[in-house]
Amino acid sequence: MSSFKFGADLAIAANLPKMNLNAGETVKIGVLAPFTGVQSSWGLPGLHAAAIWADWVNSAGGLKVGSHSYPVEITSMDDQYDPARAQIGARKLVLEDKVKLLMMLGGDTIPGISEFLTREKVLATTLLPSDLTPDMPYLIAPCEVHPIYVVTGVDWLATNHSKLKTAAICAQKDALGLPSVATYRAAFEAAGIDLVQEVLFPGDLNDVDAMVAVMMQDNPDILCWDTAYEPFVHALTEAAYRAGFKGQILSCTCDNYAALVAKTSVEFMEGFVFQFPDFDDPLLNEQNIHFARPNEFFAEFNTRYPGEWSAVPWEYFSILEIWRSAVQRAQTTSPVSVLSAMKTEGHAFNAFGPARWWGRELFGINNALVGSWPVVRIEKGKARIKEFRSILEWWDQHGQILQRDLRAYGQMWDQRIERQLMQGEIKESRWPGQAPRS
């Protein structure tokens, strides 16, 4: 594998004489994600990060494609996490704006646009590999591998806090929450932690104190917020504080955790474990990390967009860098050629080091770039990476448990395709190795 680091050549090129950009020719990249609503903290900050990336690329001379360089432009659509708006947005960005890459949050908006994206051979990215199926060969998850990485947080707790033996979990009943709760269940079982309470709720929280009371009724050692949206994580954590919970809190994300520290206390938030670091973390400057200038990126983001840092800004930036590197290798922006360049030899680097194109066992296709993932813990009011843990090492030991639990929740790729066929969201299709339907 190469020693390529995301953004490293941007830093070098910024100090070199600028190349002449091809006049009148612009390479457009689309962002289709929620910029408003409860999911906005996983969409809008990504758009902001893409804007920083575009500015850095253009200030360094543009996107080099073969012997030419082109300015890049970010064009976007707020889908409000609404499938109907996502269909409108996808058609606009692809057919009118002619984007060469379409970046999405993913989830419930994907089924309604899957057939269109495949037909148009759009190279598209999702933050949710649970969206992946063989029916969408051009949809990839090159950065975030939700929800598989949540096993690393549970595994770390089991290793470092072995007295934690019971857990209660809650999750919203949607395309983010259900695969995540199945994955947490598998991780708890593999760690020898008993799940004593599970609460599934719709896309809102009517009586958060009552729900937390139900979760606490068996005195669990761990309260797990699953992959709750930012407003839900805050509401649940504040409810646990009001209820006097003294144990371990575990969550996929904890965006804007500083506000939670202020609303509860440093002592209450001490030890809160989640999966997304601040990019001023010292461990991100280690030699094996493949995201160049993380501290500079974090500082610029927070200067431009104060208070909006969340789990996702670095993800959109790193996706764009993976794409840019592939464009330079392929010497074209043609989606099929770029995808081929990305997946050459079956391995690459993600932001945290070596990774492998993987996923056939869970998604029916090796379109997720999977490696190690950070376990993050709040200590004295500040999030800090405790360790990078290998997702695939966990899978090698416990993959059958995860497959069983995902199937129990109807989240395996073949089950999702079957539902979409029944609901008319996609037409019947074939993928390699599929048996004829009876």
pLDDT tens digits along 215-268? 999 999 999 999 999 999 999 999 999 999 999 999 999 999 999 999 999 999
The answer to whether residue 295 scores a pLDDT higher than 80 is yes
Q: Is residue 7 very low, low, confident or very high in pLDDT (cuts 50, 70, 90)?
A: low
CA distance 94 to 356: 29
Kindly report the pTM of this predicted structure. Answer: 0.87
The answer to whether residue 430 scores a pLDDT higher than 70 is no
Collapsed DSSP state (helix, strand, coil) of residue 179? helix
Q: Which domains does the chain have, with CATH numbers?
A: 8-146+287-370 (3.40.50.2300), 150-274+373-401 (3.40.50.2300)
Output the pLDDT for position 205. 78
The one-letter code for the residue type at 75 is T
Output the pLDDT for position 287. 86
Q: Is residue 206 very low, low, confident or very high in pLDDT (cuts 50, 70, 90)?
A: confident
The answer to whether residue 19 scores a pLDDT higher than 80 is no
User: Do the strands 368-370 and 372-379 form a parallel or antiparallel pair, or are they unpaired?
Assistant: unpaired
CB 181 within 8 A of CB 171: yes
Output the pLDDT for position 24. 59
What is the crossing angle of helices 313-330 and 44-59, to 10°? 40
CA distance 116 to 120: 6
Tell which wins on pLDDT, 337 or 6. Answer: 337
